[in-house]
Amino acid sequence: MVRSAAVLIREHGLAPTGMREIAAAADAPRGSLQHYFPDGKDQVVSEALDWVAGQVTRPLLPDGTDRPQPARKVVADMFARFRRILELTDFAAGCAIVATVADASANDRLRAKSAEAFGAWRAALTDVLRRGGAGKARAERLAVTAIAALEGALVLARADRDLAAFDAVAKEITALMPR
Amino acid sequence: MVRSAAVLIREHGLAPTGMREIAAAADAPRGSLQHYFPDGKDQVVSEALDWVAGQVTRPLLPDGTDRPQPARKVVADMFARFRRILELTDFAAGCAIVATVADASANDRLRAKSAEAFGAWRAALTDVLRRGGAGKARAERLAVTAIAALEGALVLARADRDLAAFDAVAKEITALMPR
């Protein structure tokens, strides 16, 4: 159900995604959605943002070897994963965190949860850059720049229904990362 | 009315912005909104996106002198203008084009209009970079990267209700531009 919520939000936006749509997409009775999420839509969306944060940070965690992963490759892979989602969904899917921020100006709980999801992502990518030898301030700046540029590139790709802008951003931002 | 629509969309999102809200924000009777925009919400939003495109491209047009403006300064100013909007609106306002793309997956007219607005902005910034001496392919890549990163930075700032991430992105992206 949480995954269905994330997919609906990244494709249609936060506002148009209601409990009815989430239940239908999860193929679950409306009553069971209400049973698991007594606080309603805000609760499902909060957990969906946690799920998204897990999806984006997991590939950035240490791989268990002693060798640090080169930041440039990690960021190229990050762009490649979202590129595949654009292709697989025919440009329907953006990022659920961006969609939440766009519609949730009056909802401080979801706004804060979006910040938390971005924060986890930024921390994981900052760690990659730090393990690769970048200083703390520079690692933080590069991490947030890569994530911001990726988010913007997703929006441009969905507007254009074309990958040219996305690929151009991926190329410039990847080149900006240390090897 | 068009300006009111753009402001509502960038603050609250596309889906939550209806004809009723636009008329109220413009302090206009609902009937006059329907008179000027017989096609309804899609028409107001299309014209709002044209208005936004004008707002973002105007500062990038040649300033009438023979001296090309340095791309680095132009991009720094672009970030600074949006930074002021974040400050003036207490982080309520993002970008109306991003908000439209996030909610308009099923609306091809607004999707295409968003692409047109981004296209005008990209073309104007590409011209700045070309006039400064950048080659065509590189100028196009840098322009789209600066715009994507700015859009992502706006989303991060609104999520955080804080300018640190925005300023970090501005610093890295500005440094990436030719002097």
A144 chain-B contacts, CB cut-off 8 A: 153, 156, 165, 168-169
> Tens digits of per-residue pLDDT, B95-117?
999 999 998 888 999 999 999 99
ipTM of the complex: 0.95
Specify the pLDDT at position A48. 97
Exposure string over A139-158, b if 16+ CB within 10 A, otherwise e:
bbbbbbbbbbbbbbbbbbbb
Q: Which two tokens stand for residue B64?
A: 């009438």
Q: Which two tokens stand for residue B86?
A: 């974040």
Specify the pLDDT at position B50. 97
Specify the pLDDT at position B63. 80
Residue A70 CA to residue A60 CA, distance in Å, equals 11
B150 chain-A contacts, CB cut-off 8 A: 148, 152
Residues in A 148-167 with any Cβ partner in B closer than 8 A = 148-153, 155-156, 158-161, 165
Average pLDDT in the B70-86 region? Answer: 97
Specify the pLDDT at position A63. 80
Specify the pLDDT at position A81. 97
Specify the pLDDT at position A65. 82
Specify the pLDDT at position B5. 97
> Tens digits of per-residue pLDDT, A75-129?
999 999 999 999 999 999 999 999 999 988 789 999 999 999 999 999 999 999 9
Residue A7 CA to residue A119 CA, distance in Å, equals 21
Specify the pLDDT at position A43. 97
> Tens digits of per-residue pLDDT, B120-157?
999 999 999 999 999 999 999 999 999 999 999 999 99
Runs of H (alpha helix) within chain A: 2-12, 19-25, 30-36, 41-57, 71-88, 96-103, 108-131, 136-160, 164-176
A115/B160 Cβ within 8 A: yes
Specify the pLDDT at position B87. 97
Specify the pLDDT at position B10. 95
A147/B155 Cβ within 8 A: no
Average pLDDT in the A147-160 region? Answer: 97
DSSP for residue A105: T
Global confidence as pTM: 0.96
Which of these ranges, A118-122, B26-30, B172-176, has the smallest mean pLDDT? B26-30
Residues in A 106-145 with any Cβ partner in B closer than 8 A = 106, 111, 114-115, 118-119, 122, 140-142, 144-145
Straight-line distance from the first to the last Cα atom of chain B, in angstroms, rounded to the nearest whole number: 39
Among chain B residues, CA nearest to A140: B168
Specify the pLDDT at position B85. 96
Nearest of A164, A45, A167, A151 to residue A94 by alpha carbon: A151
Residue B93's contacts (CB-CB under 8 Å, 6 or more residues apart) are B7, B10, B11, B85, B86
Residue A66 clears pLDDT 80, i.e. is over it: no
Q: What are the Cα distances from residue B4, in Å, to B13, B30, B154? A: 13, 13, 20
Among chain A residues, CA nearest to B117: A159
**Structural domains in chain B?**
2-176 (1.10.357.10)
Sign of CA dihedral B33, B39, B42, B47: negative
Specify the pLDDT at position B106. 83
> Tens digits of per-residue pLDDT, B43-73?
999 999 999 999 999 999 988 887 888 999 9
Q: What are the Cα distances from residue B13, in Å, to A108, B8, B152? A: 15, 7, 16
Residue A52 clears pLDDT 80, i.e. is over it: yes
Q: What percent of chain B has pLDDT over 70?
A: 100
Question: Which of B119, B141, B168 is the closest to A168 by Cβ?
Answer: B141
Within 10 angstroms of residue A164's Cβ, the number of other Cβ atoms is 13
Q: Which candidate in A10, A56, A103 is best for mutational testing of the B interface (most B CBs within 10 A)?
A: A103
